[in-house]
């Protein structure tokens, strides 16, 4: 692949789940879990996908791997169109893309020893056999910080953090280039969480892995991500380099989300944006801007309920979906006039992004 092409390109990805009613399973509606999501992940970088439960972030992660079948859109991995692949080719490509799950208890088969769990990938893809496979399993366990002697033990003998390490070793066994981390530390205690976050960072550094890091916890994201995409009701509503997102959150939802994180500084009283009400049902999302019923923006008006805000560049590299924030680069009207209402064509001009921003967040692939 060429160097300026991202590892993973996702365009207009949607996943609708049918709502079935009655004895005959008539489809009476659709849950729009993921509704037109586009993003890129470059080799070696971490894109965080952040949002609250039901925003579609996990479904996005699974749809990218085709663990749930997307309704429409396209996913390119190393140039292959994943959605066009047959079962055999898909299996081959999956070697390169792995997933680490949130729940350390349901993610490991309780009836298999952790050695057998880690070994499975090697067997399926014929990467190693016999004693070579044993050695590889031991090496993988060591690499994730587990004692290789414990290969014969079963998942229930391990703590949550240790199980999470086994899950990571399993993902690494097939030597992927890209891992979807689906809330990998959400179920863990604070001290263990830090261990696993650091492990993921070390592995990324050593192996040049790319992560799609799905999380609801913004504080963890700041430590691990290069770029952050915020999701709300199936849409990406803001997308920016991590520093920009945390220093100048632009979309009102992101602002509320950031301000809701409890600060561990008892002296400091912060201005908190308290959102009214709950997230609406994705089966019946609000018109216009999906966030408008809960939005605290002073300029919120009828237009918010009427116009679907496009994701547009409000500052260099900083994209947000809000018609009340004036874009500083190109107005969204101008973009639309140029036929760019849907992001793909003009989406994230990475070269421009890295020229104009501090290079500390540039990814290896773009150099």
Span 96-155, contacts to another protein by CB under 8 A: 97-99, 101-103, 106-113, 115-117, 120-121, 124-125, 139, 142-148, 150, 152-154
Q: How far is the CB of 167 from another protein (least distance, A)?
A: 7
CB 346, min distance to another protein, A: 28
Tell me if 78 sits within 8 A of 244, measured CB to CB: no
Which structure tokens are listed for 332? 């969204």
Identify which of residues 289 and 343 has a Cβ nearer to another protein in the complex.
Answer: 289
CA atoms of 256 and 249, how far apart (whole Å): 9
Stretch of residues binding another protein (CB under 8 A), selected from 197-205, 233-241, 308-316, 343-351: 197-205
Residue numbers 271-330 binding another protein by CB under 8 A: 272, 274-275, 277-279
- Which of positions 249-278 make contact with another protein (CB under 8 A)? 256-267, 272, 274-275, 277-278
- Give the per-residue SS3 of 114-130: HHHHHHHHHHHCCCCCH
Judged by CB under 8 A, which of 158, 178, 291, 347 binds another protein? 158
Among candidate residues 335, 59, 46, 54, the one with its CA nearest the CA of residue 182 = 59
Which of 28, 72, 198, 284 is the binder for another protein (CB under 8 A)? Answer: 198
Q: Which is nearer to another protein, 234 or 310 (CB)?
A: 234
Q: Which two tokens stand for residue 233?
A: 């009701």
What DSSP letter does each residue of 153-187 carry, written as one string? S-GGGS-HHHHHHHHHHHHHTT--SEEEEESTTTT
Least CB distance to another protein at residue 106 (A): 5
Taking CB atoms within 8 Å and a gap of at least 24, the contacts of 344-352 are 344/11, 344/12, 344/38, 347/38, 347/40, 348/39, 348/40, 348/239, 348/317, 348/319, 350/4, 350/6, 350/40, 350/42, 351/4, 352/316, 352/317
When binding is defined by CB under 8 A, the residue of 199, 210, 229, 251 that contacts another protein is: 199
CB-based contacts of 29: which residues, under 8 Å, 6+ apart? 18, 19, 283, 284
Find out whether 65 and 228 touch, Cβ atoms under 8 Å. Answer: no
CB of 97 to another protein, least distance (A): 8
Tell me how many degrees the CA angle 269-272-275 measures, rounded to the nearest 5: 160
Binds another protein (CB under 8 A): choice among 81, 189, 301, 333 = 189
Angle between helices 160-172 and 190-207 (to 10 degrees): 20
Among 92, 135, 328, 351, binds another protein (CB under 8 A): 92
Residue 57 in the binding site for another protein (CB under 8 A): no
Pick the piece of the chain touching another protein (CB under 8 A) from 72-80, 85-93, 314-322, 340-348: 85-93
Contact call for residue 197 and another protein (CB under 8 A): yes
Kindly tell me which residue out of 69, 86, 126, 191 binds another protein, with binding defined by CB under 8 A.
191
Report the alpha-carbon distance of residue 342 to residue 11 in Å, rounded. 9
Of 27-35, 90-98, 332-340, 346-354: span binding another protein (CB under 8 A) = 90-98
Specify the 3-state DSSP secondary structure of 232. Answer: strand
Q: Which is nearer to another protein, 108 or 289 (CB)?
A: 108
Q: Does 342 bind another protein (CB under 8 A)?
A: no
Site for another protein in 13-52 (CB under 8 A): 52
- Select the residue interacting with another protein from 212, 214, 242, 353 (CB under 8 A): 242
Helix (H, G, I), strand (E, B) or coil at 101: coil
Taking the complex as a whole, the smallest distance from the CB of residue 151 to another protein amounts, in Å, to: 9
Tell which positions 206-235 bind another protein, by CB under 8 A: 216-220, 222-224
CB 333, min distance to another protein, A? 31
**Of 2 and 106, which CB lies nearer to another protein in the complex structure?**
106
- Nearest CB to another protein, comparing residues 94 and 235: 94
- Closest to 145 (Cα-Cα) out of 185, 224, 200: 200
| 171 contacts 205 by C-beta, under 8 angstroms | no
Among 221, 246, 243, 235, smallest CA distance to 46 is for 221
């Amino acid at each position: 692949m060429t160097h300026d092409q991202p590892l993973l390109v996702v365009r207009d990805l949607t996943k609708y789940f049918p709502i079935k009613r009655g004895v005959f399973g008539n489809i009476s509606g659709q849950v729009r879990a993921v509704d037109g999501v586009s993003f890129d992940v470059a080799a070696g970088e971490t894109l965080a996908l952040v949002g609250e439960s039901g925003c579609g972030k996990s479904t996005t992660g699974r749809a990218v791997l085709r663990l749930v079948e997307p309704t429409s859109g396209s996913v390119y991995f190393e140039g292959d169109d994943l959605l066009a692949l047959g079962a055999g080719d898909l299996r081959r490509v999956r070697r390169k893309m792995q997933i680490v799950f949130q729940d350390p208890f349901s993610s490991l088969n309780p009836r298999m020893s952790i050695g057998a769990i880690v070994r499975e990938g090697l067997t399926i893809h014929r990467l190693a056999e016999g004693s070579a496979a044993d050695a590889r399993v031991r090496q993988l366990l060591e690499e994730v910080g587990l004692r290789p002697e414990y290969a014969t033990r079963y998942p229930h003998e391990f703590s949550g953090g240790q199980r999470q390490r086994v899950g990571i070793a399993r993902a690494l066994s097939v030597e992927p280039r890209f891992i979807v981390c689906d809330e990998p530390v959400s179920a863990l205690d604070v001290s263990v969480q830090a261990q696993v976050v650091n492990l993921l960072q070390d592995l990324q550094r050593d192996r040049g892995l790319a992560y799609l890091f799905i999380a609801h916890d913004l504080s963890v994201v700041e430590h691990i991500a290069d770029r952050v995409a915020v999701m709300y009701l199936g849409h990406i509503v803001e997308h920016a380099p991590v520093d920009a997102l945390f220093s100048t959150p632009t979309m009102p939802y992101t602002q509320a989300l950031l301000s809701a994180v409890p600060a561990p500084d008892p002296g400091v009283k912060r201005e908190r944006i308290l959102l009214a009400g709950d997230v609406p049902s994705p089966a019946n999302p609000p018109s216009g801007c999906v966030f408008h019923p809960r939005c605290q923006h002073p300029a919120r008006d009828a237009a918010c309920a009427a116009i679907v805000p496009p994701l547009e560049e409000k500052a260099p590299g900083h994209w947000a979906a809000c018609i009340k924030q004036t874009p500083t680069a190109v107005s969204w009207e101008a973009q639309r006039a140029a036929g760019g209402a849907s992001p793909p064509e003009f989406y994230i001009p990475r070269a421009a992004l890295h020229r104009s921003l501090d290079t500390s967040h540039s990814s290896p692939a773009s150099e």
